[in-house]
């Protein structure tokens, strides 16, 4: 094992909590019920799948695109104001992986242009050999395509790489791709299914780094 592929939201950045906060603010303004439940269900999904899930819950006439744009505006206001934070231990882990000569990648359901924008915001883009966004594959997590693509672009076999995830769909995707799935929980706790699919579950990125390098 000398390769690690990371999910982004909820793994590298504390972005899922911020997105949920922005959705809750939008929902309060417009009287949208049960927003936390649908946001949790969408974790790990790409934009098209999330849109479909919202419409299935709230009806075909639900103005998802309008509300999503409003939520996104709130999100980027927070990012520009410095309220998006790196998850604890991320910079140290990436530095250690580089020091040991490991390959690194990102496999995020977020569009690639947004992934790169957030990486540049934190000065991390150069820390990754490959970045695969959700718009670069046909099928969203839990389909394994995004992790298969990342491994192919990195020149490694899935069985020879770790995938670091926080969401259920992400763990399902990585495990189906044949990778060693590592769960570091964020908004959702491990379930019996996750305990079965994940090779390891760690409470923090620092614990995973300790596991790899001592």
Q: Which fold has domain 3-14+85-213?
A: Rossmann fold (3.40.50)
Residue 118, H or E segment: helix 112-121
The pair of three-digit structure tokens given for residue 155, joined into one six-digit string = 């020149």
Instruction: Encode the chain (214 residues) as per-residue pLDDT tens digits.
Output: 899 999 999 999 999 899 999 999 999 999 999 999 999 999 988 889 999 999 999 999 999 999 999 999 999 999 999 999 999 999 999 999 999 999 999 999 999 999 999 999 999 999 999 999 999 999 999 999 999 999 999 999 999 999 999 999 999 999 999 999 999 999 999 999 999 999 999 999 999 999 999 9
**Residue-wise DSSP of 181-202:** EEE--SSS---HHHHHH-SEE-
The pair of three-digit structure tokens given for residue 16, joined into one six-digit string = 């899922």
The rounded Cα 45 to chain-centroid distance in angstroms is 9
Residue with tokens 């923090």: 204
β-bridge pairing 103-107 and 130-132: parallel
Domain ranges of the chain: 3-14+85-213, 15-80
């Amino acid at each position: 094992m000398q390769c690690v592929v990371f999910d982004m939201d909820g793994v590298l950045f504390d972005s899922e909590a911020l997105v949920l906060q922005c959705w809750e603010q939008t929902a309060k303004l417009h009287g949208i019920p049960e927003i936390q439940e649908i946001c949790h269900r969408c974790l790990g999904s790409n934009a098209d799948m999330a849109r479909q899930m919202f419409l299935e819950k709230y009806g075909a006439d639900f103005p998802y695109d309008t509300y999503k744009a409003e939520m996104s505006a709130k999100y980027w206001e927070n990012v520009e104001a410095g309220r998006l934070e790196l998850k604890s231990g991320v910079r140290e882990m990436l530095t250690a992986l580089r020091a040991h000569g490991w390959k690194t990648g990102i496999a995020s359901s977020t569009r690639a242009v947004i992934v790169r924008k957030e990486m540049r915001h934190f000065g991390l883009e150069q820390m990754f050999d490959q970045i695969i966004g959700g718009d670069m594959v046909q099928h969203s997590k839990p389909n394994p395509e995004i992790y298969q693509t990342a491994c192919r672009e990195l020149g490694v076999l899935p069985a020879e790489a770790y995938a670091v995830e926080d969401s259920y769909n992400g763990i399902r995707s990585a495990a189906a791709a044949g990778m060693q799935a590592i769960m570091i929980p964020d908004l959702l706790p491990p379930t019996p299914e996750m305990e079965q699919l994940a090779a390891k579950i760690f409470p923090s990125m620092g614990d995973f780094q300790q596991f790899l390098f001592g």
